[in-house]
Amino acid sequence: MTTKPLGMVETKYFEFGRHPHEIALECGKKLGPLTLAYETYGALNDDRSNAILVLHALSGDSHAAGFHPGDKSPGWWDSMIGPGKALDTDKYFVICSNVIGGCKGSTGPSSLCPSTGKPFALAFPMITIGDMVKAQKYLIDSLGIQRLLCVIGGSMGGMQVLEWVRAYPEHIRSAIPIATALKHSPQQIAFNEVGRQAVMADPSWDNGNYYGKGSPERGLAVARMIGHITYMSDKSMEQKFSRRLIEKNYSFSFKSDFEVEGYLRYRGDSFVKRFDANAYLYITKAMDYFDLSGGRFIPQGKKIEVRFLVIAFKSDWLYPAYQSQEIIRFLKIHGLDATYCEIQSTYGHDAFLLEIKEETHLIKHFLDKTFHGYDVAREYVI
Catalytic positions: 155, 316, 349
Integer Rg of the chain from CA: 21
Instruction: Please name the helix (run of DSSP H) or strand (run of DSSP E) that holds residue 48, with its range, or none.
Output: none
- What count of Cα atoms within 13 Å lies in the side-chain half-sphere of residue 81? 32
Residue of 17, 16, 38, 27 whose CA lies nearest to 286: 27
Alpha-helix runs per DSSP H in the chain: 129-142, 156-167, 186-201, 217-231, 234-240, 259-272, 277-289, 321-333, 351-354, 356-381
Residue of 160, 195, 155 whose CA lies nearest to 57: 155
Q: How far apart are CA 63 and CA 71, in angstroms?
A: 11
Helices 277-289 and 156-167: crossing angle, nearest 10°? 50
Q: Pairing relation of β-strands 12-16 and 30-31?
A: unpaired
CB 222 within 8 Å of CB 198: yes
Number of Cβ atoms within 10 Å of the Cβ of 353 = 20
Q: Pairing relation of β-strands 34-41 and 30-31?
A: unpaired
